[in-house]
Structure 1
Amino acid sequence: MIIRIDPASSTPIFEQLVRAVRAEVLAGRLAAGDRLPAARELAASLEVNVHTVLHAYQSLRDEGFVELRRGRGAIVTGAAAELAAVRRHAVDLVEAARERGITADAILALVREELSR
């Protein structure tokens, strides 16, 4: 897994890490049971604070992408595969909406409406 961050970006580093790992999971390059690098190891390789990596891992845990286990680190969950499958449906939805000239705001409103049922 290759993670790149842009220290000059206005996006916080922890969020860049979350997005990078999320993208790897959704693309299928990380699967259920795969371990993420140890927080200290990743922090050292990216030259960032270990707490920044831990913050990213906690956000990924809160989203259901990883499970944090003391002594075992961050492990990709089975829910990540389910999220990847749903992403494929989202891609289809976006493509269909674009073909019909439907705006992003309209799509989001439809999704929120369905989620609130």
Structure 2
Amino acid sequence: MQWTVDHSSPQRLQDQVAACVVRGVHDGELSVGEQLPPAAELAEALSVDRNTVLAAYRQLRVAGVLEFRRGRGARVASTADAADLAPVRRAVQAAVDLARSYGLDSSDVITLVKELS
């Protein structure tokens, strides 16, 4: 599992860390019950503060992606699959529909997304 964060991005580091975990769950790299690296270890690997990783883990616990167990660390929750991408899919569909109304095709939308990210 290769996680990276972009220190020059306007997106908060904790959101980037959280996105890595969510992407890992959706891509099948992380499975239910799998333990995540300790916050201090992951923080060192990503060159971020330990509190940044802890904030990301807490954010994911609230979202139902992670669960914390005393002495066992952070693990992928059984409810992780419920944190689906439906809101993202709806937003992308709306963007595609709008682009089509301007005569743009999917390659144009992809180009725009790459420019913005």
* Structure 2 length-normalised TM: 0.71
Where do 1:1-117 residues align within 5 Å?
A: 1-84=1-84, 87=85, 91=89, 98=96, 101=97
Aligned-residue CA RMSD (Å): 2.6
Distance of 1:26 and 1:46 partners within structure 2:
21
SS in 2 for 1:24: helix
Contact conserved, 1:26 with 1:83, CA < 8 A, in 2?
no
- % identity of equivalent residues: 38
Give the unaligned 5+ runs of structure 2.
100-117
Residue equivalent to 1:112: none
Higher RCO, Cα 8 Å, sep 6+: 1
The amino acid of 1:51's aligned partner reads N
Q: Distance in 2 between matches of 1:91 and 1:21?
A: 18
How many angstroms does 1:81 deviate by? Answer: 2.5
Shift of 1:83: 3.3
Q: Which runs of 5+ in 1 are unaligned?
A: 104-117
